[in-house]
């Protein structure tokens, strides 16, 4: 009898426990379905502790992960999705969401593995394909970031959520934003966010760059419930914002409200009526003329979950027309939220339905003349592995604010300032003597650009000069100085997408010394120019064109091997070959003479050549006796090669170019 009583008691408590666990699970589901995710988290955790069935435990674990996903706690979401998978939760979506959580936490390599697994299970789901592509792109974007600079606005961010910035004055020195910090109108904790109900606050920066302590706007705007995403018009005296208010049946409905500023205060807000009262809408974006509004709604006729919709009106006081979905070029199977219409007409918004770095990424869309859209990810560092959203620009500058819950912030969501520094190109140059490598002071350096730039300056005592360059421009830098041949260099900023410091060295040749022409080559014992000589000869043509008043003598030299007469004859023919080539290139024949020196003029080593030939010293003359004194055949052959050269020397500086008539 006692045994039977014991069994009955045990069965009673097991049954009661099962019903209790089931009741808690149902209560958690109801909280989840009503969007009370923080309340649901505690209930699911309690139900998890009571559950015995493996499938039930797996489901509860997945639902807890879902709650964390919905409150953007990606670290906890990662932990609970991993638990659900290990407990063999049946739906492959757990693998997809686990990959999303890993990606949102910046674990791209691990996320790739999960996306590959999900794609193998559900190959046609674009979400898995987007996730895989996103990981590859994110790694690339972080390796090659854009030029945007991003800083956290610690000055007015709090440990709670601060987001959705807008400008309160048209001087852009006052910022309005949404915050769930203490000091707002309501004192209750939201079951959805786990923080105080949010209000709209304002802060202003003074002349010294110090931001004031944020204070909430008046009761004309803020209520005891949530006020959220907002935008102001171009004059910053009308505000459109999202707010929860009670409808006539006592239900909380999210609507768009409008408030006008009078002085420093905002008037009592009025609801914008263009959809049925039962439809939840928010996140308004207003065009510069205030005749178009883009907003967010999850309603029939959309593409995915939350979509971007648009309404227009004929005048600022007119009624809004019928809402139109922005279509599949903008909207995806995911969420499109927090739109913003730039003064130039482009549309910015956040989406988790496209390839991106993490949760929500910020995108920029331009509408083309045919009504189609081009959409571009703003990339890193505007976007991050976390949620990035609610961007706003100063009208005529690439500067403004956006919201993000990326790591390193003060609270959950933080406000960040961004700016795009101008691309700067600086040219740092130095002019040197090509023979002695000494710096040349007082040389006149002229910068000529394809954009019409033509500026000149003198080199400093150390031979240096500097210029600022402009984007997408080709430049010539021309150096002139008495006693030297005109010399030049080239630079270009075309195709450059980031700032750069160019460095150039211009070698000027003294006009009282013979100048070697390296690269002019002949076959053994012959005087016909080889094709490889073309580059060197074109350089000589350029020198003559840059110095139109000089006349020159082309000299050719041999080593001392072979007879004197043979070397003299060969070198004379080689020098004459160069002159003929220059004439075919349009150089006046009167400017050119030639002479074969044979072995009569051994090379004297310059300072520049010492760097190339370490066994030689400046001033060494490569005469037969010097070469014969060298210790190795390799060094001797090197000296023979140096002696076998073509050079030129000035014979005049006052040649008057002929006027060439068109034929």
CATH number of 496's domain: 2.60.40.1120
Give the DSSP H/E element, type plus range, for residue 227: strand 227-232
Same domain, 328 and 260: yes
Q: What is the DSSP letter of 532?
A: G
Query: Given 100, 116, 143, which residue is the final one in a domain?
Result: 143
Shared domain for 226 and 291, answered yes or no, is yes
Number of domains in the chain: 4
* Structural domain boundaries, residue 325: 161-408
Tell me, yes or no, whether 435 and 462 share the same domain: yes
The predicted-structure confidence for 506-547, as pLDDT tens digits, reads as follows 999 999 888 888 878 777 778 888 887 888 888 899 999 999
pLDDT for res 15:
40
Check whether residue 341 and residue 213 sit in a common domain.
yes
- Nearest alpha-carbon partner for 281 in 247, 246, 306, 248: 306
Indicate whether 313 belongs to any domain. Answer: yes
Nearby residues of 242 by Cβ (< 8 Å), 6 or more positions away: 227, 228, 229, 230, 254, 255, 256, 257, 282, 283, 284
Question: For residue 8, is pLDDT > 50?
Answer: no
Q: Is the alpha carbon torsion for 323, 326, 328, 333 positive or negative? A: negative
| Residue 112 domain-assigned (yes or no) | yes
Choose one of 91, 114, 143: the last residue of a domain: 143
Q: What is the pLDDT of residue 12?
A: 35
Q: Are residues 104 and 234 in the same domain?
A: no
Residue with tokens 């039962």: 278
- For residue 657, being part of any structural domain is answered with no
Q: Which residues lie across from 148 on neighbouring strands?
A: none
Same domain, 112 and 18: yes
Q: Which residues contact 226 (CB under 8 A, 6 or more apart)?
A: 190, 197, 198, 243, 244
Q: Is-contact 297 306, C-beta < 8 A? A: yes
Domain assignment present for 153 = no
Statement: residue 384 has pLDDT above 70:
yes
- Residue 662's pLDDT band, with cuts at 50, 70 and 90, is low
pLDDT at 663 over 70: no
Strand ranges in 599-653 using DSSP code E only, listed in sequence order? 645-652
Mean pLDDT score across all residues of the chain: 90
Residue 150 within any structural domain of the chain: no
**Residue-level pLDDT at 277:** 77
pLDDT given at position 18: 45
**How confident is the model over 284-333, as pLDDT tens digits?**
999 999 999 999 999 988 998 899 999 999 999 899 999 999 999 999 99
The verdict on residue 660 lying in a domain is no
**What are the counts of helices (DSSP H) followed by strands (DSSP E) for the chain?**
12, 32
Q: What is the pLDDT of residue 468?
A: 97
- Taking the C-alpha atoms of residue 94 and residue 108, their distance in angstroms, rounded to an integer, is 17
Q: Is the pLDDT of residue 3 over 60?
A: no
Q: Residue 4 above 70 pLDDT?
A: no
Q: Are strands 425-433 and 500-508 parallel, antiparallel or unpaired?
A: parallel
Q: What is the pLDDT of residue 513?
A: 87
Q: Do both 178 and 46 map to the same domain?
A: no
Q: What is the pLDDT of residues 38-50, one digit of tens each?
A: 889 999 999 988 8
Q: How far, rounded to the nearest angstrom, does the alpha carbon of residue 661 sit from its chain's CA centroid?
A: 53
pLDDT for 660 equals 64
CATH code for the domain in which residue 629 is found: 3.30.1330.60
| Whether 581 and 596 share a structural domain | yes
Q: Is residue 434 part of a domain?
A: yes
What's the pLDDT tens digit per position in 391-405? 999 988 999 999 999
Tell me the mean pLDDT in the region 400-426.
93
CA distance 418 to 420: 7
| Residue 623: C-alpha distances to residues 518, 560, 626 (Å) | 20, 8, 5
HEC profile for 42-109? HHHHHHHHHCCCHHHHHHHHHHHHHHHHHCCCHHHHHHHHHHHHHCCCCCCHHHHHHHHHHHHCCCHH
């Amino acid at each position: 009898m006692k045994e039977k009583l014991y069994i009955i008691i045990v069965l009673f408590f097991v049954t009661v426990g099962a019903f209790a666990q089931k009741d808690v699970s149902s209560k958690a589901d109801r909280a989840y379905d009503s969007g009370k995710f923080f309340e649901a988290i505690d209930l699911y955790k309690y139900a998890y502790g009571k559950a015995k069935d493996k499938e039930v435990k797996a489901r509860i674990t997945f639902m807890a992960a879902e709650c964390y996903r919905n409150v953007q706690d990606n670290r906890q979401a990662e932990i609970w999705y991993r638990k659900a998978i290990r407990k063999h939760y049946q739906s492959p979506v757990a693998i997809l969401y686990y990959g999303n959580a890993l990606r949102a936490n910046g674990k791209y390599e691990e996320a790739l593995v999960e996306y590959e697994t999900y794609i193998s299970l559900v190959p046609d789901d674009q979400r898995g394909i987007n996730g895989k592509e996103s990981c590859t792109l994110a790694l690339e974007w972080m390796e090659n970031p854009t030029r945007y600079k991003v800083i956290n606005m610690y000055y007015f961010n709090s440990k709670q959520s601060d987001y959705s910035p807008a400008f309160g004055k048209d001087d852009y020195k006052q910022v309005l934003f949404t915050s769930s910090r203490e000091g707002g109108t309501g004192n209750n904790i939201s079951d959805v966010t786990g923080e105080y109900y949010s209000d709209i606050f304002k802060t202003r920066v003074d002349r010294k760059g110090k931001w004031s302590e944020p204070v909430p706007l008046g009761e004309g705007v803020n209520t005891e419930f949530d006020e959220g995403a907002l935008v102001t018009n171009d004059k910053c005296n009308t505000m459109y914002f999202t707010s929860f208010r009670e409808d006539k049946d006592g239900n909380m409905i999210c609507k768009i409200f409008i408030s006008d500023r009078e002085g420093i205060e905002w008037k009592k807000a009025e609801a914008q009526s263009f959809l049925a009262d039962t439809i939840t809408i928010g996140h308004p974006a207003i065009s510069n003329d205030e005749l178009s509004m883009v907003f967010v709604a999850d309603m029939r006729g959309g593409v995915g979950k939350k979509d971007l919709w648009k309404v227009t009106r004929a005048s600022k006081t007119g009624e809004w027309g019928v809402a139109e979905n922005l279509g599949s070029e903008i909207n995806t199977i995911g969420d499109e939220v927090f739109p913003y219409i730039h003064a130039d007409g482009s549309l910015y918004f956040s989406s988790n339905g496209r390839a991106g770095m993490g949760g929500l990424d910020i995108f920029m869309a331009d509408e083309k003349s045919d009504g189609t859209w081009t959409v571009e990810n703003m990339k890193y560092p505007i976007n991050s592995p976390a949620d990035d959203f609610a961007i706003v620009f100063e009208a005529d500058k690439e500067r403004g604010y956006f919201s993000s819950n990326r790591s390193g912030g003060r609270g959950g969501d933080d406000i960040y300032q961004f700016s795009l520094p101008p691309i700067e190109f600086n040219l740092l140059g130095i002019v040197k003597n090509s023979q002695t490598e000494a710096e040349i002071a007082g040389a006149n350096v002229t910068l000529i650009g394809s954009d019409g730039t033509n500026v000149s300056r003198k080199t400093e005592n150390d031979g240096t000069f500097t210029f600022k360059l402009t984007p997408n421009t080709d430049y010539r830098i021309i150096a002139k100085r008495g006693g030297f041949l005109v010399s030049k260099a080239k630079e270009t900023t075309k195709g450059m997408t980031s700032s750069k410091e160019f460095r150039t060295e211009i070698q000027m040749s003294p006009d009282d010394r013979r100048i070697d022409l390296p690269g002019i080559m002949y076959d053994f014992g012959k005087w016909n120019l080889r094709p490889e000589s073309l580059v060197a000869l074109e350089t000589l043509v350029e020198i003559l064109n840059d110095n139109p008043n000089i006349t020159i003598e082309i000299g050719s030299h041999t080593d001392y091997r072979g007879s004197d007469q043979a070397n003299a004859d060969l070198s004379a023919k080689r020098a004459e070959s160069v002159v003929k080539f220059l004439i075919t290139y349009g150089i006046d024949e009167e400017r050119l003479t030639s002479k074969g020196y044979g072995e009569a003029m051994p090379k004297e080593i310059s300072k520049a050549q010492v760097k190339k030939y370490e066994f030689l010293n400046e001033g060494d003359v490569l005469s037969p006796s010097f070469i014969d004194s060298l210790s190795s055949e390799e060094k001797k052959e090197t000296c023979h090669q140096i002696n076998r050269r073509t050079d030129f020397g000035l014979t005049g500086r006052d040649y008057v170019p002929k006027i060439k008539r068109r034929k």
